[in-house]
């Protein structure tokens, strides 16, 4: 088994999320279940994603998680950056970007309350985990205008 010796930080749990946009540049958000003490960030709007299985790459995990959570296949998934969920799961999260132009009310959700597209200018009124909000802003700031 290969062990990463580039840092002194112990192996950490990893996760993935996807910033999915449609042709109108709206962002697909996922309203998480209201299960305090059971899941990180209950009753918050977040991005679709989840934890990496042991030995699974973030790129494989995001494809699996999108399928498992919503039967969704995003196009052009591209790895963006990593961020740690300091105040929630503690996981090191890999952010991806992709596109999907489907009906957000159609996918059968296996987790969470609902999916909904939001225009970027409406995100400020939503309850979003800080690391997710920061990741979205980082992604939007890097977009060509």
Q: In this prediction, what percent of the chain has a pLDDT beyond 90?
A: 77
pLDDT tens-digit series, residues 18-46: 999 999 999 999 999 999 989 889 999 99
Q: How is domain 14-142 classified at the architecture level of CATH?
A: Alpha-Beta Complex (3.90)
Q: Which residues pair with 10 in a beta bridge?
A: none
Q: What is the pLDDT of residue 89?
A: 86
Q: What are the DSSP calls for the chain, one per residue?
A: -----SSSSPP--EEEEEEEE-TT--EEEEE----TTTSSSTT-EE-EEEEPPTT--HHHHHHHHHHHHH----EEEEEEEEEE-TTTT--EEEEEEEE--S-TTSS--SSSSEEEEE-GGGGGGS---HHHHHHHHHHHHHS--
Cβ atoms 102, 119 nearer than 8 A: no
Residue-wise pLDDT tens digits, 53-111: 999 999 999 999 999 999 999 999 999 999 999 888 889 999 999 999 999 998 889 98
Neighbour count for residue 74 (Cβ, 10 Å): 23
pLDDT for the residue numbered 11 = 53
Instruction: Locate the domains of the chain by residue range.
Output: 14-142
């Amino acid at each position: 088994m290969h062990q990463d010796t580039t840092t002194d930080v112990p192996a950490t749990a990893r996760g993935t999320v996807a910033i999915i946009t449609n042709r109108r540049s709206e962002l697909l958000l996922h309203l998480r279940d209201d299960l305090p003490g059971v899941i990180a960030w209950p009753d918050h709007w977040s991005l679709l994603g989840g934890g990496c299985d042991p030995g699974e790459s973030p790129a494989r995990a995001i494809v699996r998680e999108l399928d498992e959570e919503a039967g969704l296949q995003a196009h052009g998934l591209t790895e963006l950056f990593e961020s740690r969920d300091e105040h929630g799961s503690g996981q090191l999260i890999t952010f991806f970007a992709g596109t999907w132009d489907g009906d957000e009310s159609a996918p059968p959700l296996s987790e969470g309350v609902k999916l909904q597209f939001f225009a970027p200018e409406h995100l400020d009124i939503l309850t979003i985990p800080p690391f997710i909000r920061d990741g979205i802003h980082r992604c939007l700031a890097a977009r060509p205008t």
